[in-house]
Amino acid sequence: MRCSLPARDEALIQIVDSALAETARRSGNWLACRPGCTQCCVGVFAINQLDALRLRAGLSKLEESAPERAARVRQRAREAVSRLAKDFPGDPVSGLLDGGKEAERRFAGFANDEPCPALDPATGLCELYESRPMTCRVFGPRFAQEMDWVFASFAFRVRQMKKLRRAK
């Protein structure tokens, strides 16, 4: 079933991106985020149905403007599902994660080395950047500003925080 994004999703993105842009400006050189850095793009995390709908809309748009790139995204996603389905802590047919403490415990240790299928490994850029989930939008700046970031353990902590955000 094809669904439309709620009209106010654009407002949500504008609010969040504006807040993050201001934080990024204030973070200055402390902010490690830059095009080509892919540390946040490794390790599976949960997305809600609004994120999922926005991502699918972004992929449909890419199919119109750059069908080869869109096909590569879909291919990477299918390959990832093949690798991940066996141990997926949810329904591997629908792709929905299970709820509850035991499922959260299993998810915490699940696929922490798996790259995001939207990440183009050749360029280190997100193919669906404009349609990325909220977790991707709020991560780096928030962390660098509020937690006195230790860069040596960056990748590990990002993975853990992404998982923890699910339990919010």
Query: Looking at beta carbons only, is 125 or 152 nearer to other proteins?
Result: 125
Task: Tell me which of 33, 42, 97, 155 binds other proteins, using CB under 8 A.
Answer: 97
Task: Tell me which of 28, 30, 42, 47 binds other proteins, using CB under 8 A.
Answer: 47
What stretch of H or E contains 125?
strand 125-126
Using alpha carbons only, give the angle 137, 138, 144 rounded to the nearest 5 degrees: 125
Task: Tell me which of 37, 66, 71, 81 binds other proteins, using CB under 8 A.
Answer: 81
Binding mask 48-77 for other proteins (x = CB under 8 A): xxxxxx-xx--x-------------xx--x
Per CB under 8 A, does 40 bind other proteins? Answer: no
Quick check: 57 and 131 in contact, CB under 8 A? yes
Task: Tell me which of 39, 114, 120, 125 binds other proteins, using CB under 8 A.
Answer: 114
Q: How many CB atoms are located within 10 Å of the residue 32 CB?
A: 16
Task: Tell me which of 31, 34, 68, 78 binds other proteins, using CB under 8 A.
Answer: 78
Q: Which stretch binds other proteins (CB under 8 A): 1-9, 30-38, 151-159?
A: 1-9
Would you state the torsion angle of the CA atoms of residues 96, 52, 19, 39, taken in this order, to the nearest 10 degrees? 70
Give CA 166 to chain center in angstroms: 12
Pairing assessment for the beta strands 125-126 and 119-120 based on DSSP bridges: antiparallel
Number of residues that bind other proteins (CB under 8 A): 54
